[in-house]
Every structure is written in C-alpha cells, then in structure tokens.
Amino acid sequence: MKFEIIEEKDLIRIDKFLIDKLDLSRSKVQEMIKQDLVLVNGKITKNSYTLRLSDLVEITGELKEETDVLPEKMDLDIVYEDDYLMVINKPSGLVVHPAAGHFTNTLVNGLLYHTNNLSTNNGDIRPGIVHRIDKDTSGLLVVAKNDKVHEALSNQLKDKTLSRIYVALVVGRINHDTGTIDAPIGRDPYDRKKMCVTDVNSKEAITHFRVLEKYKNATLIECKLETGRTHQIRVHMSYINHPIINDPVYGPKKKISDFGQMLHAKEIGFIHPITKKHMSFTCEVPEEFLNIVEKYKNE
C-alpha cells in the first residue's frame, strides 16, 4: 500500500496521517512504525517525522501482534448451522472478537470451543467473523466455516445482497413514517473511539428506517442497512437528533438500564455460497428490550 503526499493538508506527522488513512488506533500505527513496516521514500522512519510534499509513504507488511485466543465453553444461541456456516444470535454485552489486551470472553472464544472449522480470512483474532455487531447490540450475525464461504459472504456484503434489518428504540417522537439517512461516516477528530458524520476521511453510509410505533417520548423503528459502517445506525440516528435510547456514547449520558443500547439485529438474509439458495433468519428482541419498550408505551 502506497500514498504519495500531494496536498498541503497532509503535511503532518506521519503517525497522525496513517491513523486517518488506515483507520487504526494511534498505538497500532506507532507499533507498525516501530516494527519498520512503514517506509518514507524507501527508508524506515520515526513517529515524529513530518511529511513533505512528494514524499512516498509505503506500508510493507501487517502488524505482528502477540495473540493467544483460546477456546472457552459458552452457551451459544445457534439459530442455524451446517457444514459451511453458522447464524448466531448474539446477546447484548458480548464482544464479537478479541482485541489487543482482551483475548477472553468473546464470541470467538465460544466459537473456537464449539467447532474446529472456522475461516482464516481475518487472521487468528477473528476466525469465522464475516461481519460484526457492537458489544451492546444484540442479534444475528453469520459465521463462515471455511475461507471460500467467507469470501463469498464478504462479497455479498460489498455488493449489498446480504441484507440486515435492525429494530431500535430512539429518543423522541419521529413525525414521519419512513426516511433515508445518506450521510458519510468517519472517525470523530476529537475522540478516536467514536465515529461521526463528516466529509473528512469518511465513507458513504446509507440507512433506511421505517417507524413501527410512536410513543410520547420515544419511537420504535426498523432500520435497513445499505452500507455497513462502524456504529452506523447509532451515528445516523444521533445525527438526526433521535439517538438510540440507552446509548451512552451517541445518546443521553444517563443510562436508564444496565441493558445495552436499544438496538437489535433482528433479521439477516443472504445467498448460501454452496447451495445457492436464499436464506433468511429472524430473531425476536430480548426480554430486557421488551421491558424497556413497555416502559415508554405506558408513559
């Protein structure tokens, strides 16, 4: 991967430049530079190097991380399984895959205990994981058991033939019955852990929503993703001033419950890579979700 510096806005420290270009944390970018994986004009560089016009930045390899992801016995809610893939109903509060410094008690640990057959396309830390949903979002995701199936499902994500529908409870009463939010999403320049609607180093993001029920102080909606950006629905609903209830990052800071944000991946559909049949799966929202909805119904 190569980048040529041709704009004055890019005359910044190389680590800051790569954080935006690679969508990685500062620590990971600095570790890549430390491992001599980043060259400037063919030479190794330092984090403090300030880029100049015509500089050629080259990424020569992937970051080598110490990983030790072990199988853990876990009660997985398996909605469907065959020799090629699985569909899992993930509970709110469960992290999908390990990350630096956190290699236990994730869905991947449970998958490794359940089966020895998981795709390797995403490396040792994310075996089988085709797409992810946030820790405190509940619902469906598909897991690949081999690399061929993984690639086929990933391609369906890219060409938008893998469909995902969510249900969410949002703050306030939405006046119209349907809507489409077409607003690009990128890293929040003031908080690297958050995403935001921005024109800077962003990607296209489109969310369609439909109102299911209106309450005095909240609205129950169904969301269909046309793209799959990090925190997309949470960011988009916050952007139109209807943040998801119980979302401390993009909504009101005060939580109304220990349950996670009121967002549930209720439906997923795709073409089976081997049988070529269209498959669709649904799962009801968790009981905790229903209890919070009832509270808003009765206000």
The pLDDT, as a whole number, for residue 101 is: 63
Active site residue 82: no
Quick check: 142 pLDDT over 80? yes
Quick check: 220 pLDDT over 80? yes
In the sheet where 43-44 sits, what is the strand order? 2-4, 56-59, 38-40, 43-44
For residue 87, count other CB atoms closer than 10 A to its CB.
20
Mean pLDDT of 149-157: 96
Distance of CA 268 to the CA centre of its chain: 15
Quick check: 285 pLDDT over 60? yes
User: Model confidence at 21, in pLDDT bands (50, 70, 90)?
Assistant: confident
The pLDDT, as a whole number, for residue 35 is: 87
Which residue among the candidates 15, 55, 134, 247 is catalytic per the annotation? 134
Q: Which residues of 263-288 are buried (b: 16+ CB within 10 A; e: fewer)?
A: bbbbbbbbeebeeeeeeebebebbeb
Distance of CA 223 to the CA centre of its chain: 15
- Check if the beta carbon of residue 264 is closer than 8 Å to that of residue 289: yes
Q: Kindly provide the residue ranges of all beta strands, DSSP E only, lying in 215-259, ordered along the sequence.
A: 218-225
Among 8-12, 18-22, 188-192, top mean pLDDT goes to: 8-12
Angstrom distance (rounded) from CA 11 to CA 58: 16
The pLDDT, as a whole number, for residue 64 is: 66
- What six digits make up the tokens of 226? 């046309």
Mean pLDDT of 52-60: 93
Mean pLDDT of 220-229: 95
pTM, to two decimals: 0.78
Query: Over pLDDT 70: what percentage of the chain?
Result: 98
Average pLDDT, the chain: 92
Q: Is the pLDDT higher at 67 or at 76?
A: 76
Quick check: 253 pLDDT over 70? yes
The pLDDT, as a whole number, for residue 103 is: 82
Secondary structure letter of residue 10 according to DSSP: G
